[in-house]
Structure 1
């Protein structure tokens, strides 16, 4: 099983099991959801919005009622040429004008949450007055009309009035029910006084229509309330997400600044850290070598050797930390020149050969012949190969085998692959070992522990060369590390141009 790793220089491992949302933002989002998902009976958060929508739609449809009244008056005068129908029309227009003026006044003022109920009562009163006009129409009669034509006309007009009012005023709750109480009362009085079946049937039909359209208007009101709730929730959540994003961006910016300051500090401390260590290494080596004379006590000689080895180990650790810090701070400059990966690989194998023989490890090479040179930083490429070879020797057991390959990639680049038959790395731990200071469980159990910076430095160096690093490993089967340089780094040899004879050069110049 293999795993390809990108060459990004970001070494932070993200723990996706943790919640990264800000607590204050999460609390605000939960409060918003609780407020919007509360029962509609006690939720008045959108009453003002509903009232504003009702006022706006009423003003836009202000000409519909005069048109309806004109049509009803014309048909009524045709059926019953009586002057009372014009009086009713004048009354309806006056009552409608009152409603329009009330709506205009409401649209010009800023309705606060405290004024919502007051304006709602005023608008309901206006609709009740308009309902009184329809009640006056219900009192209209026709003594000269033959048959049931006038009953049909009056019933059709009243049903239309109920349905039209329900569709145009459903944003104002109870407007249908309260507005047509006068009409139902008028029809009920006529039915009681006359006792005729047609009057009773008309009353029952209109009362049923009022109840039905009140139910329809209530359903429409609830649907619009739900839509407004969802819209408000969406807007609030977007606002909270924007706040969370800005907080996250600010936190990331501060973290990046702190990380950059740390890297710059460590990079600038190179001389200050290395100078005393070099003095310690030099004096301890002089003491252990007894250059100035023999040490009387052999224990002192042993201690001086320990000091030299510990100082050398500490210097190597500091060098790795400083290299990574310079890379992260953008101060790691490449000194590029032409070099041969084959020669660099052979030199690095020779450097680790002594340690490999101490563990009876066999190092086999599989090099492709006659490979052209590449354009790279020789010091950096040596560091890459030495890190990979040192890891292979460190984790390969006694009597193991390491294979070093140098060859061509499918894309025309060159690669160096180092494979061992050690314990391997679990697949889920590969991102950990590729992170800064990260070590797998095998490395933790191993006696030869390091800083965990070797592979991150390899990734960063290859990224500087526009290359790629791939780590493949399988538990109990070994690990393969592949360093790839792109085809743009390959130096192609160009054949030399032979000089033309003097006569040919003279002919070309004249031509």
Structure 2
């Protein structure tokens, strides 16, 4: 049979989060490349639509100011044109402006899914060309008499056209061509040096505006790409959050189901285990007579010890499962923490004495009573002392401290002189069924549930659990109970009957009543 490798285990679990993210990125890149191949501008369809939408918004918003500009140019041209000619040019310019604004509003009202971007791009190119052609005719009508004014107007219109149509570069070029040809046509009327210089300056300025429009287009595309990347990141974060919430919900359900299962199985296992312990104890004590073979007594003793170990393990699993499931009910009462710790130390003294270990106790006798579950507190202290006795070498010392905290609470500290726990194993020993390397090497019996149970019981009391350990320096565990559980400063209740009042006082009170 082939060995099970980590790769096989990972394949059984499914793709990792890194693989999922990589696949999602590849799919996004492929979709983007496919949209670029089907696009006429080399961009994604969403970008094409957004650029056209920006063009339509700019043109629709600039309709009224451009109408005012057309009226102003027509009024200024009355100085050298007949009113009919100026009016005709103004009507042509205003008409193209209104048509372009109407087209832009129509584009903005239609749903993006039903739009033909290629068709609308052609419509906008034609509208831009017609609008610039109408402007050029208005300015050229009086060009022989007002070349400077015409060139000045052509420069202004070139700036306005290229800036408004910057998001559609082809439309910007289409609107610039009539204006540039109009400027060059002035050379047909006069070729003196002043005219040539003005025309060259006008054409150069128009080319400059064309280059500036290209820069604005690149900036708009960059902004759209940044926005798309940001939206993609937000979408991935939302998806990751949703996946995390779902995974957490499933983990909580699985943990609750596990805790319920362990609690049920622990109860089911106790019944046959009690029978095993009872009969093995009868056989061990030879209640019904001496065994014919001495080995049977040893076997019965081993069965009884193994059963006790299994019963302890089941009790620990049951306690931990009840704590994790939130079903561990505290039976709180007034108790003396120092007395409970002393009882636990006495219970563990025999085991410590068999290994040549000594206890050193430092207990503050002024501690008031503590409002807590005495059984849970006893289990906390017994688990801590059991771990210390288990991992402290023969002849070692275990120091027990009970006293006040800085905030007015009470604490229990158990420190041993054992080999300590490496820093990278602190998380392991605090996890359920986690055992450090020392416990594995020394083959010490234990389920790895002692410290998790202690921490769970401390948390139920609203306390704090702290584990300090370094290799070759020993281990110290500090359990702190909050000051709110202390029972000091409570006045005594006076249960004696009130003293009898003198007769004159009683008479005066009766008259007042």
Q: TM-score, normalised by structure 2?
A: 0.88
Tell me what 1:478 maps to.
474
Tell me what 2:88 maps to.
87
Runs (5+) with no aligned partner, structure 1: 1-18
Shifted more, 126-135 versus 102-111: the winner is 102-111
Tell me what 1:44 maps to.
44
SS in 2 for 1:415: strand
CA distance in 2, matches of 1:508, 1:165: 107
CA distance in 2, matches of 1:73, 1:116: 35
CA distance in 1, matches of 2:475, 2:502: 61
Q: Which of 492, 500, 503 does residue 503 from structure 1 map onto?
A: 500
CA distance in 1, matches of 2:503, 2:160: 104
Change (3 A) 1:280 1:505: farther
CA distance in 2, matches of 1:428, 1:449: 22
Change (3 A) 1:506 1:71: farther
Q: Deviations over 1:411-436 (max 9, x none)?
A: 22211111111111122322221111
1:160 aligns with 2:156: yes
Tell me what 2:349 maps to.
353
CA distance in 2, matches of 1:340, 1:20: 52
CA distance in 1, matches of 2:136, 2:464: 87
Tell me what 1:77 maps to.
78
Shifted more, 387-396 versus 489-498: the winner is 489-498
- The count of residues paired between Structure 1 and Structure 2 equals 488
Tell me what 1:403 maps to.
399
Cα contact 1:25–1:244 (8 A) shared by 2: no
Q: Which of 267, 274, 290 does residue 270 from structure 2 map onto?
A: 274
Tell me what 2:10 maps to.
none
Q: Which of 491, 495, 501 does residue 494 from structure 1 map onto?
A: 491
Tell which has more relative contact order, 1 or 2 (C-alpha 8 A, sep 6+).
Answer: 1
Cα contact 2:140–2:150 (8 A) shared by 1: no
Shifted more, 62-71 versus 182-191: the winner is 182-191
Runs (5+) with no aligned partner, structure 2: 1-14
Note the 1:77-476 alignment, pairs <5 A. 77-79=78-80, 83-112=84-113, 115-137=116-138, 139-141=140-142, 145=145, 150-192=146-188, 194-476=190-472
SS in 1 for 2:419: coil
Cα contact 1:387–1:455 (8 A) shared by 2: yes
Offset of residue 175 of structure 1: 2.5
CA distance in 2, matches of 1:273, 1:433: 26
Tell me what 1:58 maps to.
59
Offset of residue 81 of structure 1: 5.4
Cα contact 2:136–2:154 (8 A) shared by 1: no
SS in 2 for 1:315: helix
CA distance in 1, matches of 2:395, 2:111: 89
CA distance in 2, matches of 1:498, 1:258: 55
Offset of residue 294 of structure 1: 0.8
SS in 1 for 2:500: helix
Q: Deviations over 1:166-186 (max 9, x none)?
A: 222212222232213233234
SS in 2 for 1:180: helix
Q: Deviations over 1:115-138 (max 9, x none)?
A: 101110111011111222233245
Offset of residue 243 of structure 1: 2.1
SS in 2 for 1:174: helix
CA distance in 1, matches of 2:367, 2:472: 34
Cα contact 1:423–1:476 (8 A) shared by 2: yes
Offset of residue 211 of structure 1: 1.5
Q: Deviations over 1:269-320 (max 9, x none)?
A: 3332111111111111111211111111112221111111111111111111
Change (3 A) 1:502 1:54: same
SS in 2 for 1:42: coil
Superposed CA RMSD: 2.7
